[in-house]
Amino acid sequence: MTLPLPRPVHDANASGGGLGKLPEWDLSDLYSSPDCAEFKRDMAWLEKACADFAASYEGRLASLDAGAMLECVLAYERIDVAAGRIMSYAGLRYYQNTMDSDRAKFMADAQDRITTFTTPLVFFSLEFNRLEEDHLNRLLQANADLARYKPVFDRMRAMRPYQLSDELEKFLHDNSVVGASAWNKLFDETMAGLMFTVEGEDEELNLEATLNLLTDTDRNRRKAAAQALAGVFDRNIKLFARIHNTLAKEKEVEDRWRKMPSPQTGRHLSNHVEPEVVEALRNAVVAAYPKLSHRYYRLKAKWMGLEKLQIWDRNAPLPIETPKSVDWDSARDMVMNAYSAFDPKMADLARPFFEKGWIDAGVKPGKAPGAFAHPTVSTVHPYVMLNYLGKPRDVMTLAHELGHGVHQVLAAKQGELLSSTPLTLAETASVFGEMLTFRKLLDGAKTPAERKTLLAGKVEDMINTVVRQIAFYDFECKLHAARREGELTPDDINALWMSVQAQSLGDAFEFMDGYETFWAYIPHFVHSPFYVYAYAFGDGLVNALYAAYADGLPGFQEKYFEMLSAGGSKHHKDLLAPFGLDASDPKFWDKGLSMIAGFIDELEAMEA
C-alpha cells in the first residue's frame, strides 16, 4: 500500500504562530506503538494468512464454484485489510517526521516483510485473469454476493492483455522494494533534508517555509525565496535528473515487456478511464489557456503595476489584499458552516476529524510537505495531514482534505476492495468541499475589494488545479517520450519543463534564470507518473456538478451522497448519469472551464 500524494503543490505553507492549538494525529486507532502486541500479532497473522491462501487456492481457481470463489475473494480482502492497516500506520508515522531514521527503518522493514509475505499472492490476479469469460459470467450469475465484486474483477481483467508470466510477475513484485519504492524514498528524504538560505531571513528554511515566501506581500522576499529555491535545486539537479531518468527507464522497460501501447496506459487503466476521455480533457484545457491563464495573468500584471510578471509573482497576494491570518478554530468554523449549509449530514461526517485526533495540522521539522487525506483501511477511518499556517488558502486546503475524508468515510461501507475510488473521481468530494467553502465566503463578502480578492484567489487555485496540472501532464508525456530515445541530461529535462511553462502561463511572464529546475521538487512525477491529470479531471467534474446543484437539480444532496458512498463500485458514466452529466462528451469539459472563464469575466468587469 502506498500513501496518497498531496494535492497540487501551490507553493504555499510554512510555519507560523498565533494560530491556536493545532491538532496532532492519534494513530492509536491503528496501533498504540510500533512494538505493541497487536502490531506483532497482525504481522504474524498476515504471514500465515498469505501462505494459507496460496496453499488453498493456487492452481485451483478455475475449479471453484461460485460459493467457493466468494470465500476466496473474502479471504483475499481480509489479507488486504491487514496489510493496509500495517502500512498505513508505518507510513503515517513516517510522514510525521521523514528525517527520523527509526521511523524510516520501521516503514522500510514493514514494507520488506509485507512484500515477502504477499509474494505468494501474485498468482491470484494472474490466474483469475486466465478464467474464461463465459465461466466467470456463470459464477457471477449464480451468486449475487460474488457479483457485487464485478467492478473489482473488471479492473483486474483490464490488465489481461498486459500480463506477464507468473514467474516474471513474482520477480517484479519482489523487486519493487529496491526499484521505484527505493527511489521514492531517496527523493522524499532528500527533499525533507534540503535547507535554503534566503536573503534577509534570520535562519535557514526548509522547503515548505521557502515555498511559503512565494506568497508573501513583500516582492523582495518572494524574489529572494525564488532565487534560493533555484540555487539549491541547481546544486542537486544531477541527483533529481538521475531519479527521473531511472524511474522513467524502469517504467519503459516494464511497459515494453507488458506491451503497453503508451506510458500513460497503466495510469488510465488504474483510473478506470478511457484514454480518449483524458485526451478530450487535455485538449479542452490547452485550447482554453488563452481565455484562462493568459488572460488572468495579464490582469494580474496590471493590478500589480508591472509590465511583466516574474515567477515569484504568480501566487503573490493582490496589492489590495489585506494580509490576514486565520486561526485554527476560525478555519474549522468556516469549513464546518459551509458543509452544514449544504447538508447537516456533511458536517456530521466531518466533525470526528476535529474531535478524535484524525488531523495532523502543524508544521514540524522533517514533516512531509503538502497535504493529503489517507483512507487507511475500511475498518478504521481516514487521517488528514496538513501544514497549516493560517493563510486563506490553507482554509481551502482544509476544506479540500476534509472533503476527501468525508468521501473515504462514506465509501468505506463498500468494504476494502470496493471502497477505493479511481483518482479521477477521488478528487470529487475534495474539490466540491472547497467550492462550498469558497461560495460561502464569497456570499459573505462585505466590500467589492473583498469580493475581488476572493474571486482572484479562487481563479488562481483553479488555474493551479487545471491549467498547471495539465501542463504538468504534458511535461511528463514529453519526458517519458524523450527518455525512450536515451538518457536525459538535466538541461534536456529543464528544456522540456520550460516548453510547457511558457505555453501554459502565457505572455504575461518573464522567467528568471533558474526557474528551469523547478520540476525537481514536484512529488507526483516521482511517486505516481501521470497522476496529475486527475486534479484537472476532478475540478472540471465538480464545476459541472456544482452548476447542477446551483440550478436546483431535485434531490441533489441525496444523489451526491449516493455517488460518494459508491466508492469504486461504479464507473464514472454510471455515477454521473443521475446528474445528467457525461465525462466522455467533449463538451462536458467546456462547461467546467466556462465557470473559471466566468469568474475572470467578473474580475475584468470590475476594472471597467
pLDDT digits (tens, 9 = 90+) for 201-248: 989 999 988 998 999 999 999 999 999 999 999 999 999 999 999 999
Query: What is the per-residue pLDDT for 585?
Result: 83
1: pLDDT strictly greater than 70: no
Size of the chain in residues: 608
Burial of 178 per CB tally in 10 Å (0-12, 13-18, 19+): exposed
Predicted pLDDT of residue 42: 98
- pLDDT-derived band at 608 (thresholds 50, 70, 90) equals low
What's residue 421's pLDDT? Answer: 86
Taken in order 88, 90, 92, 98, is the CA torsion positive or negative? negative
d(CA 210, CA 514): 15
Q: Ranked by mean pLDDT, which of 63-77, 313-327, 543-557, 585-599 comes out on top? A: 63-77
Which of 56-65, 171-180, 266-275 has the largest mean confidence?
56-65
Per-residue confidence band for 17, with pLDDT thresholds at 50, 70 and 90: low
Residue at 203: amino acid letter? E
According to the model, what pLDDT value does residue 93 have? 97
Tell me which DSSP letter residue 464 carries: I
Q: Which residues contact residue 350 at a Cβ distance below 8 angstroms, ignoring those fewer than 6 apart? A: 335, 336, 339, 402, 405, 406
Cβ atoms of 121 and 50 within 8 Å: the answer is: yes
Return the residue matching grid coordinates 475581488: 452
Reported confidence tier of residue 445, pLDDT bands at 50, 70, 90: confident
In angstroms, the CA 10 to CA 2 distance is: 23
Which pLDDT score, from 0 to 100, does residue 95 have? 93
Give yes or no for a contact between 379 and 81, defined as CB atoms under 8 angstroms apart.
Answer: yes
Span 117-164, pLDDT tens digits? 999 998 999 899 999 999 999 999 999 999 999 999 998 998 889 988
Q: Is the pLDDT of residue 8 over 50?
A: no
pLDDT at 422: 82
CB 589 within 8 A of CB 281: yes
Give the H/E segment covering residue 359.
strand 359-360
Q: Tell me the residue type at 116.
A: T
Model confidence at 86, in pLDDT bands (50, 70, 90)? very high
Bridge partner residues of 372 (DSSP): 385
- The pLDDT of residue 507 is 94
Name the maximum alpha-carbon separation found in the chain.
75
Q: Is the pLDDT of residue 3 over 80?
A: no
**Residue 372: DSSP 8-state:** E
Does 73 score more than 80 pLDDT?
yes
Per-residue pLDDT reduced to its tens digit, 479-497: 999 999 999 999 999 999 9
Task: Give the global pTM.
Answer: 0.82
Q: Could you report the per-residue pLDDT of 352-395, keeping only the tens digit for each?
A: 999 999 999 999 888 988 899 999 999 999 999 999 989 888 99
Cβ of 287: how many Cβ atoms within 10 Å? Answer: 13
Q: Is the pLDDT of residue 323 over 90?
A: no
- Mean pLDDT of the 320-324 span: 75
C-alpha cell at 125: 490476479
Which is more confidently placed, 292 or 392? Answer: 292
The answer to whether domain 30-178 has CATH 1.20.140.70 is yes
The pLDDT value recorded for residue 7 is: 43
Backbone angles phi, psi at 358, to 5 degrees: -100, 0
Round to the nearest angstrom and report the end-to-end CA distance of the chain: 53
Closest by alpha carbon to 360, among 27, 2, 89?
27
The rounded distance, in Å, linking the Cα atoms of 336 and 344 is 9
Give the three cell numbers for residue 275.
484514454
DSSP sequence for 247-260: HHHHHHHHHHHHT-
Among 81, 155, 157, 162, residue whose Cα is nearest residue 118: 81
In the predicted model, what is the mean pLDDT of residues 84-88?
97
State the pLDDT at residue 393. 83
10 Å CB burial of residue 404 (0-12, 13-18, 19+) is buried
Asked whether residue 4 carries a pLDDT value surpassing 50, the answer given is no
Pick from 90, 117, 121, 89: which is nearest to 104 by CA?
Answer: 90
Q: How far apart are CA 33 and CA 26, in angstroms?
A: 11
The pLDDT assigned to 591 comes to 82
Whole-number pLDDT of residue 9: 38
pLDDT of amino acid 6: 43
